[in-house]
Structure 1
Amino acid sequence: MKATTELLTIGEHRVHVELYQQPSNKESIIMVNGALATTASFTNCVKYLHNDLNVILFDLPFAGQSKPHNPAGGIITKDDEVNILLALIDHFQPDSLLSVSWGGYAAMMALAQSPASIKRAVLASFSTQLNEPMLNYIHGARHNIEIGDVKTAANLLNDEVGKYLPRLLKYVNYRHLSRLDKQELAQVCFHIEQILSLDATDYEQLLGDINIPTLFVNGELDEYTTPEDVREAAHYMQHCAFETVPNTGHFLDMEHHKARAAMEEILRGFLTPDERKYKAA
């Protein structure tokens, strides 16, 4: 299915938006990319959800198809990300939200402000804890970027967080990351510093302010955002549930066919009006 596109002005930024719409769909979902990812990262999700949900994708100003429309550059902070996300929610009025990886933090910040249209959310490959493998990875990535060894940083992503990706997607990751310009690399380093500055109190307050059914989905083999670590969220949230995708790492439905099928079943069961099997509790 081909998307229609829009270019929205939000504050000082221009934001590229892709819309996958069907006249018969009663609800819609907005999807929030992980760090430096683009709308392309949701290709599988669009394929198995667009017949039941209108899908809204967007690129942040420094990434993908938004980048050419923001020539002034500059760092995008988490507050900027949240303001952009809230503006898009206000504009399109989606019923649900799906975030992946570190897009989950901006998603949580937005959800904590209780946007009226959002009735349920999925946070995939996210954890409220920075465990030892994640800390080792982000410190290594920061070091390689700071010394100008971007190719080693790209290989580190594939060898660590992306270790279960098929060879073709590892190549795509490497090509994308090894070609980042100075603005994008500065954004990566700023993003890492933001991650390292967070503590348990930041997460506890955000989680406590989220009052809609929220599903956490993590890969069984993911050492960086583990299914065990994310269950801490249950101590602070009234309406949350957890799903684990078997034999799968951090990149979930991008890793292999069975992971894709499992993610489709999980997401359709939680998000789609006709197949909704349970309420998060």
Structure 2
Amino acid sequence: MKPSTELVQVKEYRIHVEQYRREGNRKSIILINGALATTGSFNHCVKYLRDDLDIILFDLPFTGQSRPHNPAGGIVTKDEEVEILLALIDRYRPQSMLSVSWGGYAAMMALARRPPSIERAVVASFSSHLNEPMRNYVSRARDLVRAERFGDVAKLMNDEVGRFLPKLLKHVNHRHLSSLDSREYHQACFHIEQILSLDDEDYTELYRKIDVPVLFINGELDEHTSPAAVRELGNYIDDSRFCTLPDAGHFLDLENRSARRRMQQVLKGFLMPVICDSDEPSSYHDARFDVVDRDMSYVLKSPISSRLQRQSVGG
């Protein structure tokens, strides 16, 4: 299935948008990437959600298929990212959203504005603050970008947050990041500075404004956005739910077949309208997860597999 595409004008930017639509689908979801990732990084999500939900994807102005349509030299701030996201939500009226990694900041800020069409959200590989491994990682990335050592930036990403990716995806990431132009790296450096300043801001009141169910998914092996760190958001978001994905790191379903299968089950169990509105057990329920308490937090029944914990190449 090929998506329909269009260019959408949002203020001074032209945004490349892709839509996967299927006759009979009653609801839709918008997918939100982080940093320099493009719509292509959501290939797995598209495959296992498109039969049940129409899917909306987009590239930010400085990357992917939006880049050729926007003038060089401009910098997109995180506030502008939020305005772009809100404009697309207003145009396409999706009922749910899914963000990955640093896309979580734009997603959370947009949710705090309470867009009327959004009924629930999934925020994956996100943490409300920078822990020591993440701060060290982004600081080293900033220094390499400033020195224009772009190949080393790609290697750093694969060695750190991408350590559990299969070899083929590490190769694809290295090729993609090494080929970016100076404009994209200028944006990346600005993006890193924004990330490093996040701990200087208090988002507590913003989180309290979120009034829809939010499911946070983190990889069990992810040291940079750990499952434990994100749970503090339960103190601020009334309907917050938490899932720890076994044997997965920061890139979750991109890392191995087992993670893809579990991610599919968790997303369908949370997002599908019939299942979400029913008190009956979900047909997508995985025996490895147990749903507990009123907030439907997912907890593991089994310990980490030490063999898979050491494994860096998935299926």
- Displacement of 1:245 in angstroms is 0.7
Give the whole-Å Cα distance in 2 for the aligned partners of 1:239 and 1:200: 26
Matched, 1:45 2:84: no
Task: For 1:89-238, list aligned pairs within 5 A.
Answer: 89-199=89-199, 202-238=202-238
- Displacement of 1:272 in angstroms is 1.0
Contact (CA 8 Å) 2:72, 2:183: kept in 1 or not?
no
Give the whole-Å Cα distance in 2 for the aligned partners of 1:280 and 1:102: 24
Contact (CA 8 Å) 1:216, 1:243: kept in 2 or not?
yes
Give the whole-Å Cα distance in 2 for the aligned partners of 1:169 and 1:206: 35
Q: SS where residue 275 of structure 1 aligns?
A: helix
Give the corresponding residue for 2:68: 68
- Displacement of 1:180 in angstroms is 1.2
Q: SS where residue 199 of structure 1 aligns?
A: helix
Contact (CA 8 Å) 2:97, 2:118: kept in 1 or not?
yes
Contact (CA 8 Å) 2:142, 2:192: kept in 1 or not?
yes
Matched, 1:246 2:255: no
- Displacement of 1:202 in angstroms is 2.6
RMSD: 1.3
Q: SS where residue 109 of structure 1 aligns?
A: helix
Percent identity among equivalent residues? 59
- Displacement of 1:275 in angstroms is 3.3
Q: SS where residue 238 of structure 2 aligns?
A: coil
Task: For 1:11-22, list aligned pairs within 5 A.
Answer: 11-22=11-22
Give the whole-Å Cα distance in 1 for the aligned partners of 2:14 and 2:119: 27
Contact (CA 8 Å) 1:215, 1:280: kept in 2 or not?
no
Runs of 4+ in structure 1 displaced over 4 angstroms?
A: 277-281
- Displacement of 1:71 in angstroms is 2.7
TM-score when scaled to structure 1? 0.97
Deviations 1:107-135 (A, max 9, x none): 11111000000000000000002001001
Give the corresponding residue for 1:87: 87
Contact (CA 8 Å) 2:124, 2:218: kept in 1 or not?
yes
Task: For 1:2-17, list aligned pairs within 5 A.
Answer: 2-17=2-17
Give the corresponding residue for 2:34: 34
Contact (CA 8 Å) 2:245, 2:262: kept in 1 or not?
yes
Give the corresponding residue for 2:311: none
Give the whole-Å Cα distance in 1 for the aligned partners of 2:201 and 2:237: 14
Deviations 1:81-132 (A, max 9, x none): 0110000000000000000000000111111000000000000000002001
Look up the equivalent residue of 2:255 and give its one-letter code: E
Deviations 1:184-228 (A, max 9, x none): 011111111111111275332221111100000000000000000
Query: CA, structure 1 residues 232+226, in 2 after alignment: closer, same or farther (shift >3 Å)?
Result: same
Q: How many residues align?
A: 281
Contact (CA 8 Å) 2:129, 2:198: kept in 1 or not?
no
Deviations 1:8-43 (A, max 9, x none): 111000000000001200100001012110000110
Look up the equivalent residue of 1:94 and give its one-letter code: P
Give the whole-Å Cα distance in 1 for the aligned partners of 2:267 and 2:137: 28
Q: SS where residue 228 of structure 1 aligns?
A: helix
Look up the equivalent residue of 1:19 and give its one-letter code: Q
Structure 2: 5+ residue stretches without partners: 277-281, 283-290, 297-315
Give the whole-Å Cα distance in 1 for the aligned partners of 2:72 and 2:66: 12
Structure 1: 5+ residue stretches without partners: none
Give the whole-Å Cα distance in 2 for the aligned partners of 1:88 and 1:191: 21
Give the whole-Å Cα distance in 2 for the aligned partners of 1:248 and 1:218: 8
Computing the radius of gyration over CA atoms, which structure comes out larger, 1 or 2? 2
- Displacement of 1:80 in angstroms is 0.9
